[in-house]
Structure 1
């Protein structure tokens, strides 16, 4: 598809998924992601796809498991409380080695919280999605265009490594409108998934997709093999963008909407002669450790900027490992930090750095 079109972030997610070959969507409405489901409800019947509004997020994620186990590209979308309800099903999907796409358009919390943007689901997405030893791929776009581009990557890597992928958006990215170039549609080769439970036609042994293993040694062996794949992902697929980091004394680490605000603060600080740059994680799992590591030698301080009380900052501190200070600035409850506030933090840190 050529040329730019003006699209709301949530609707662009849906169109990008369709272009990536997704023809199965199961979900439940919740602000601020409802437009994803509403858009799918209109588009899927027109292209021979399946749209079903489940009775709950619990039901929808189990429908995703069923479709994914049959070898087709499938997705769901929700917002923060909905992911909590999906947790058990996500663990079953990971334990069954089934790929799928989960979109979380984050809102303020905890509890029902509010409907404004947040980044307080970082720990949930990257560390404690659900019970058991497993990881999911987590992507964090910062623009509507990047969201469109990442959807295909998330599907592809999920298929390659047979695991769930999550796109971590928020109420700001989901509701804003920006011009985007939509990708050319592709038809993924679902028939190549030799593990899928999609009918054997007496041509092969039947497949069983399962996450229950009574023998503890068998389960341990499977989990260890899974973690070997995770190590391969860490080695090959860390993704981040760097902005003015080469000579930076202070490096901001920010993702998604927070990175957009931080960029404006960095430009203002540079005008004041402060050498500041930014590392913007695009993959939150795997966390882009090597992008941070290579600057620990010259940076005098790091600043994690988040729309939370501080979650990603823990990962930044683990990478920096006490070699230089790691500061934090965040707003929560749906409040978006301003460039002026972040600039104030940059100036404060610069004044304390020799």
Structure 2
């Protein structure tokens, strides 16, 4: 199939359509707005539902309702908008309703700015809202993956009956790259739990209110067992030149591409560096990080934040090797900047 030049946000939206998404509910916020614009243009042509809600709170509760009927549905926003959706996301997670939630991240805290950031990591991977719940979080690193992981997110969401978040930096949402469009999904799983009308069967009820102490505890135990299964089966990450690396750098999303080039440059300058790229931010690929850092002398996390993923990296490394942070906010560092940081560590540690 021929490649098509696409913007990241539009590739993600097209991937959702090819995955069988039937409805989009959202409220515009940069740098995610092209997703809503793309859906607004496309859905009238294919019989889907696009609705710009009056607020982020309304949008996420529309996602709840539509997902409860068994439809593949999604929403998209950025940091402050995702914050407003957190109550609804907690409800959706407890009700075990599959959906796609997109966060095209911007800088913060507060209103922040539209500059790219990865500082919504805590919000995404720790649930973000109230109660003991999790959502799956995937981090694309290219425009192609914006499409591919959007499609895969729907499959994961349906399989595990869980909200899936695709979190990408604002730069990735705005940049253009050649994309190979994927084949449309034509087979979908049965959803016997959906509220599709109960003629001929007992009614299905989607509810998150559990007043009895035993009832709410059993409900939480059920959810935690599911999260454990997801953690065991779905954590994903990629490694690059880690086998003999003295310095292993952990980076996700767009930052991982920059680090990969810096790793190659560092090796040309005599420093054995390697890269681990988490693809799933939750479940975090702790075992991959642990195994890939067995022979490392030092670990560095490179983040477009003041340091959030570093906590998961430190847990995975479990004190075997020091873990340092290189973090920037409001801009994406170039490969030369990362290479310079690698060389500084090498000189400081006496590897050169």
Give the TM interval when normalised to the shorter protein.
over 0.9
Measure, in 2, the Cα distance between the counterparts of 1:186 and 1:338. Answer: 37
Contact 2:127 2:133 survives alignment (8 Å):
no
* Offset from partner CA, 1:267-325 (integer Å, 9 cap, x none): 11011011001000000000001111112321111100000000000100011111101
1:231 maps to what in 2?
228
Q: Distance in 1 between matches of 2:97 and 2:127?
A: 19
Residue in structure 1 matched with residue 186 of structure 2 by the alignment = 187
Question: Using the alignment, how far apart are the partners of 1:297 and 1:104 within structure 2?
Answer: 33
Q: For 1:183 and 1:157, how far apart are their aligned partners in 2? A: 17
Alpha carbons 2:314, 2:323 under 8 Å: kept: yes
Q: CA deviation at 1:23?
A: 1.0
Measured after TM superposition, the shift of residue 344 of structure 1 is 1.9
Match of residue 337, structure 2, among 315, 337, 341: 341
Structure 1 equivalent of residue 205 of structure 2: 208
Give the match's secondary structure for 1:12.
Answer: helix
The alpha carbon displacement at 1:243 in A equals 1.1
Instruction: Find the aligned partners of 2:79 and 2:181 in 1 and give their Cα distance.
Output: 27
Q: Is the 8 A contact 1:21 1:188 kept in 2?
A: no
What secondary structure is seen at the aligned counterpart in 2 of 1:38? helix
Whole-angstrom distance in 2 between the partners of 1:353 and 1:153? 42
Q: How far has the Cα of 1:337 moved from its partner?
A: 1.6
**Aligned counterparts of 1:337 and 1:225: Cα–Cα separation in 2:** 43
TM-score if structure 2 supplies the norm length? Answer: 0.97
1:159 aligns to 2:158 (yes or no): yes
Q: Deviations over 1:93-134 (max 9, x none)?
A: 001111100000000111111111100000000014100001
Q: Is 1:16 aligned with 2:12?
A: no
Gaps of 5+ in 2: none
- Contact 1:20-1:188 within 8 A present in 2 as well: no
- 1:89 alignment counterpart: 88
Q: 1:188 to 1:86 in 2, by over 3 A?
A: farther
| Count of residues in correspondence between the two structures | 350
Q: Which digits, 9 at most, give the CA deviation of each residue in 1:64-108, with x for residues without a partner?
A: 000001111000000111000000000000011111000000001
Q: d(CA) in 2 for partners of 1:129 and 1:176?
A: 28
Deviation at 1:11, TM superposition (A): 0.5
TM-score (norm 1): 0.97
Aligned position for 1:121: 120
Shift of 1:188: 4.2
Q: Secondary structure at the match of 2:275?
A: strand
Say which SS state the counterpart of residue 107 (structure 2) adopts: coil
Q: Determine if the alignment matches structure 1 residue 291 to structure 2 residue 288.
A: yes
- 1:317-354 alpha-carbon deviations (Å, 9 max, x no partner): 0111111010100101x211222221122112222336
Give secondary structure in 1 for the equivalent of 2:198. Answer: coil
CA distance in 2, matches of 1:93, 1:320: 33
> Residue 54 of structure 2 corresponds to which residue in structure 1?
55
Give secondary structure in 2 for the equivalent of 1:107: strand
Deviation at 1:189, TM superposition (A): 2.7
Instruction: Report whether the alignment pairs 1:34 with 2:33.
Output: yes
Q: 2:306 aligns with which of 300, 305, 309?
A: 309
CA contact (8 A) 1:105 1:168 kept: yes
